[in-house]
Amino acid sequence: MQSVNPYTESIVEEYDEHDEEDVEAALSRAAETFEEWRATSLTERRGLLTDAADVLREREEKYAELMTEEMGKPITEARSEVQKCAWVCDYYAEHAAEHLQEKTVQGPEDAETYVRYDPLGPILAVMPWNFPLWQVFRFAAPHLTSGNVGLLKHASNVPGCAKAIEEVFRDAGYPEGVFQSLLVGSDLVEEIIEDDRVRAVTLTGSGPAGRSVAEQAGKNLKKSVLELGGSDPHIVLDDAPIAEAAETGARARTINSGQSCIAAKRFIVHDAVYDEFVDRFVSEMEALQMGDPKDEDTDVGPQAREDLMEELHEQVEDSVEMGAEVRLGGEPEDGEGYFYPPTVLTDVPRDSPAGCEELFGPVASVFRVESEAEAVELANDSQYGLGGSVWTTNLERGKGVAARVESGAVFVNELTKSDPRLPFGGVKDSGYGRELGVEGIHEFVNRKTVFVQHGVGDE
């Protein structure tokens, strides 16, 4: 298994893949460890999570550079990602006891009734390359702390990050087997899900991968959580603060070099402010600096793989053939590295790739609408429903629009982002289930009802 630097196109490192014998050993270790780990006090688990946060902070630069080398993330964003991983560890170390506390439910007067939260067992996490640390830690922090054990099948282009995450938990003092990275291809995922020792599965990734995992989990009657793609609307109403909407919109479209499920992708702009917004937005996108991801001043790095860059360009070309106008960018950069420039498309046909597919790179699709109602209709005219944002100077109006947008999250006058304190996930083809917050930690526990009848056999 190789990791290839998308900036230099050179091999970073090669790793030996795990074979079926290695996977069997890992599954056995996970099942054995779970019986001990579930009996470990919550206080001890929380303390270990605090230690994991300390390891992350101590090694921030090391892990940030690793991400930048393996998938091209700009170094300033990579550092922020490590910091966010430490934050999610801090959050659950502080709040897990509250979130997992037995909940008393009013029942008969002569009985004690409550709900307790018990761990399920080994959980398989199938994770993507675009946020190679964060998307694993937002799974691991709550679910290891609730008493489960984790098995990570990471994306094949970030094996170094997979090993680094395993290293964090080991060096924080977690028992061997609580968290294991499996360096395997996708061909072994079905077999792992089918194994009786695996009790649940979570995936962050593409729609096809999500459907495959959901099918296998459903066939084996196992709980699953899916966070899939998105084509988030960035709605600019006629009373929007245009300068802020354009500036934040450019950042929202190009975070992680545009490779984010919750990036703003469809810019839906009221006719009354359309021209002003487009001019400002194009200027903001044009001002972004593209280059060496290890350079502190770089805003947009390379795409993570050459095939992904080529697929993105095909979507742009097909959209232009169908009538979209290129206002900025639109062609891969010549030379070394998998660079695709910040790109703005206007007059985008709704049935073009830029109108109805997810463009996983720094390409913005801009639409003109005549009314608020049309803006909401277009925002919802998508197979996806992950996030979205609304821009207006009238906050009550913004909340009203947010209520009508069909997605797992809507932000008013801010870009869509995840936060350990808030539930995160989507609807429609963007998946199901929630991560983060109290809702997230409850996804992989047995919410067990306990009914204790009083007066029977009492002396």
Site of tokens 């001990």: 36
Q: Which residues of 44-71 are buried (b: 16+ CB within 10 A; e: fewer)?
A: ebbebbebbbbbbeebbeebbebbbbbb
Active-site position among 85, 161, 261, 356: 261
Exposure of 192 in the CB half-sphere (CA atoms within 13 A): 35
Query: Alpha-carbon distance 45 to 37, whole Å?
Result: 9
Please identify which of the residues 81, 166, 227, 406 carries the catalytic annotation: 227
227 a catalytic residue: yes
**Burial level of 98, CB count in 10 A (0-12/13-18/19+)?**
exposed
Strands 343-346 and 200-204: unpaired
- Helix 75-99 to helix 42-58 angle, to the nearest 10 degrees? 170
Are 304 and 260 in contact by the 8 Å Cβ rule? The answer is no
Q: Is 389 helix (H, G, I), strand (E, B) or coil?
A: strand
For residue 59, give Cα distances in angstroms to 144, 173, 259, 319, 417: 21, 16, 25, 43, 24
Distance, in Å, from the CA atom of 233 to the CA atom of 222, rounded to the nearest integer, reads 33
Of 361, 340, 359, 333, whose CA–CA distance to 348 is shortest? 359
Q: How far is CA 197 from its chain centroid?
A: 26
Around 153, how many Cα atoms within 13 Å sit in the side-chain half-sphere? Answer: 27
- Would you give the DSSP letter of residue 186? G
Token pair for 141: 């922090």
Which residues are known catalytic residues? 227, 261
